Amino acid sequence: MNPSIDIASTLDRSNSDVVLIVDDVPDNLAVLHDALDESGYTVLIATSGEAALQRAQQALPDVVLLDAMMPGMDGFEVAKRLKASPKTAHIPIIFMTGLTETEHLVAALECGAVDYVTKPIKPKEVLARMGVHLAGARERRQTRNALDAFGYATITVRALDGALLWQTPLARELLQRYCGTQSPQTPPQVMQWLQQCLATLDQAGEPPRLTLEQGAKRLSFRLHQQIGDVDALGDWLIVMREVSDTAVIEAMALSFKLTPKEAEVLYWVVKGKTNKDIGDILGSSPATVKKHLEHIFIKLGVETRTAAAGMAMGRIRLLQPQFEV
């Protein structure tokens, strides 16, 4: 066995899933290590709860095989801590236990385990159980990678308590910029929207989307799918995408021969903002906004903001069909 491998960057995950075995009995480790190694897995080991937590944080294994009864920190506590950390909460945990009483098995599942096997350990059974859960984890990972490749950001939120369990680097940047929050906190407005979506899941149609605006940019949130256990509230994969209307503003300026500031004012008129709102957004007074509007009316040959908005909207639809008001 090679217990020295403990840094995620040193592990080649392209052709092999990484398994962390946690057991204080050397014989158990040897039997499982050999069986998993022969089956093509990359195997890491830990002989105590403290070592398991450290190794999991460093290596981020694809699955953890966890002994329930160990001296010091037992497997139940290890599982709770793994699930409490946003960095490791997504990792499937399979308990290995000699305790067959119902309350112990229930306790294992309540700690966040997805499955359990009973001792004495049968390697073929372990491999079969692992295969099921790794297939699901692999599918979710591929989904996230595919979404990221097309410019989407993704997060996973636990609906029960609002914990942000997983996020892509782009998602981290966007949540910080739009909401001022960081993991493990899910932004309050996102959590409120998620709860509203879950309350209407049994209704026909797609759940409503959340949109946060920041100037001419906006960040949309879409409920993608439930992952992991489908019981109770579950964990939810949320897809985010940022859209900028800077190109729309530039197109309006060119199309109507407006100054950059006039084009910005017209953009916000199309968005239904008042002169005061526009002044607050652009850092101008309502009187200055009114003066810009007067120039816009002359250039567009209209007399009201409604007519100006209608003309601008028609032109925008031709130039940017995907534009949303």
Same domain as 174, residue 138: no
Q: What is the pLDDT of residues 267-291, one digit of tens each?
A: 999 989 999 999 998 888 999 999 9
Q: Are residues 138 and 189 in the same domain?
A: no
Neighbouring C-alpha atoms within 13 Å toward the C-beta of 3: 14
How many structural domains does the chain have? 3
* Model pLDDT for residues 219-241, shown as the tens digit of each residue: 999 998 887 655 556 788 899 98
**Is 0.85 surpassed by the pTM of this model?**
no
Say how far apart CA 264 and CA 267 lie, in whole Å. 5
CB environment 49-75: b (16+ within 10 A), e (fewer): bebbbebbeebbbbbbbbbbbbeeeeb
- Sign of torsion over alpha carbons 70, 74, 76, 82: negative
Q: How far is CA 56 from CA 66, 115, 189, 269, in A?
A: 12, 18, 31, 53
| 139 vs 225: CA distance, rounded Å | 12
The alpha carbon of residue 31 and the mean position of all alpha carbons in its chain are separated, in whole angstroms, by 37
Query: Which residues span the domain enclosing 260?
Result: 246-319
Both 15 and 136 in a single domain?
yes
Residue-level pLDDT at 322: 58
Final residue before a domain boundary, out of 184, 210, 243: 243
Number of neighbours of residue 249 by Cβ within 10 angstroms: 20
Are both 64 and 125 inside the same structural domain?
A: yes
Average pLDDT (295-303) is 94
The one-letter code for the residue type at 323 is F
